[in-house]
Amino acid sequence: MAARFLLFAHTGRRQALEALGKVVDELCARGVQAAILDSQAEAIIGNPESPAELVRAMSDGRVLRVNPNDAGRGSDLVLVLGGDGTILRASEIARNHDVPLHGVNLGHVGFLAESEAEELSCTVERLLAGEHQIDARATLEVNVYDAQRRFVGSSWALNEAALEKLERQHMVNVAIEIDRRPVSAFGCDAVLLATSTGSTAYAFSAGGPVIWPEVEALTVIPLAAHALFARPLVLGKSSTVAVELSEDNRHGAALTLDGARCLPVAPGGRVEAKISDRPVRFARLNMAPFADRLVSKFKLPVEGWRGRG
């Protein structure tokens, strides 16, 4: 049985707060320590829509309050209550401390979530019983350099890194390099660098292929490119992609990672990305094939399928 669950919720949604209260009750009844970020506890206490019993639990010590730097330390699992955006925010803690993450979907599509809100009590019971399997999802390691190739900063992404224009009226001019060889150059609205996990998110909306999660691939997808050849490229685990920003982009560009973290890219700057050695580990209870998940989440038509008989 797990000693501690770190709880991470969308504190602005009543449904998430009610679900959080149920999880706290379940864990306390089983003698398992529930922990939560200080900032989330304060948000819950200050929210007039928070259930009264949950506010008391945040105030009387039943829920351990932790700071972000130590949040994952000592926890056996990060349990997330919310949509994909909430799961992406929680994944930073899970990855930093190598703690498995399990998402309960309270959003819309919820591709990253493993469970639904209606199954919450059963989900907690099965996780505590250790019935889950660990699924390691590849992440991107991303570095940014200036025009003189001096290191500017680094970050990572579970879904995608998006190099996007800053001026609505102008395209961003880029050159694409794969494994230190030039491949193409064009003007575009953005370039997405996506993982297999991210292939069903922003990259999917941009026309990229759906890639099965166990494939450690890096996809390069130009958005609205003014070019004859601007098809998505799918790279293997050993490849490195670089996107160079031409110096005539006067205002530079922005590199956004998982829709949350952001790094500026100056004119003439360079973004390098590859598959990281550090994944995000998901605790899975649903062992259904990915094809079934795809059909369910996207509501794909499968009428006429007869199978093997």
Mean pLDDT, the chain, integer: 93
**Average pLDDT value for residue range 8-30:** 93
3-state SS string for 7-28:
EEECCCCHHHHHHHHHHHHHHH
Over the stretch 142-200, which tens digit does the pLDDT of each residue have? Answer: 999 999 999 999 999 999 999 999 988 889 999 999 999 999 999 999 999 999 999 99
Amino acid 2: pLDDT:
52
pLDDT at 21: 95
Catalytic residue among 60, 70, 84, 179: 84
Strand order in the sheet with 160-165: 233-235, 218-223, 190-195, 160-165, 253-257, 261-265
- Which pLDDT does position 1 carry in this prediction? 47
Average pLDDT (17-42) is 94
**Res. 72: pLDDT tops 90:** no
Give the span between the Cα atoms of 114 and 132, in whole angstroms: 10
Domain residue spans of the chain: 4-138+280-298, 140-275
List the single range of 128-132, 240-244, 277-281 with lowest mean pLDDT.
128-132
Q: Which pLDDT does position 68 carry in this prediction?
A: 84
CATH number of 4-138+280-298: 3.40.50.10330
- Active-site annotation holds for 179: no
Residue 82 has which token pair? 């919310």
> What is the band of 107 on the pLDDT scale with cuts at 50, 70, 90?
confident
Cα(12)–Cα(266) distance, rounded to whole angstroms? 35
Q: How many CB atoms lie within 10 A of CB 23?
A: 21
Whether 42 contacts 68, CB under 8 Å:
no
Task: Give the max Cα distance, the chain.
Answer: 63
The whole-angstrom separation of Cα 149 and Cα 144 is 9
Strand partners, 75: none
Mean pLDDT of 116-120: 88
Q: Which two tokens stand for residue 66?
A: 């932790």
Q: Which runs of E-coded beta strand occur in 216-269?
A: 218-223, 233-235, 240-245, 253-257, 261-265
Question: Who's near 278: CB < 8 A, 6+ residues apart?
Answer: 95, 98, 139, 141, 156
d(CA 153, CA 271): 10
- Contact 295/302 with Cβ under 8 angstroms? yes
Residues 6 or more apart whose CB falls under 8 angstroms from that of 245 comprise 163, 172, 173, 174, 252, 253, 265, 266, 267, 268, 269, 270, 271
| Whether the model pTM is above 0.75 | yes
pLDDT (0 to 100) of residue 16: 93
The percent of residues in the chain predicted with pLDDT above 70, rounded, is: 99
Number of helices (H), then strands (E), in the chain: 7, 20
- Pairing assessment for the beta strands 63-66 and 33-37 based on DSSP bridges: parallel
- The correct answer on CATH 2.60.200.30 for the domain covering 140-275 is yes
Asked whether the beta carbons of 232 and 244 are under 8 A apart, the reply is: no
pLDDT digits (tens, 9 = 90+) for 186-239: 999 999 999 999 999 999 999 999 999 999 999 999 999 998 888 999 999 999
**According to the model, what pLDDT value does residue 309 have?**
58
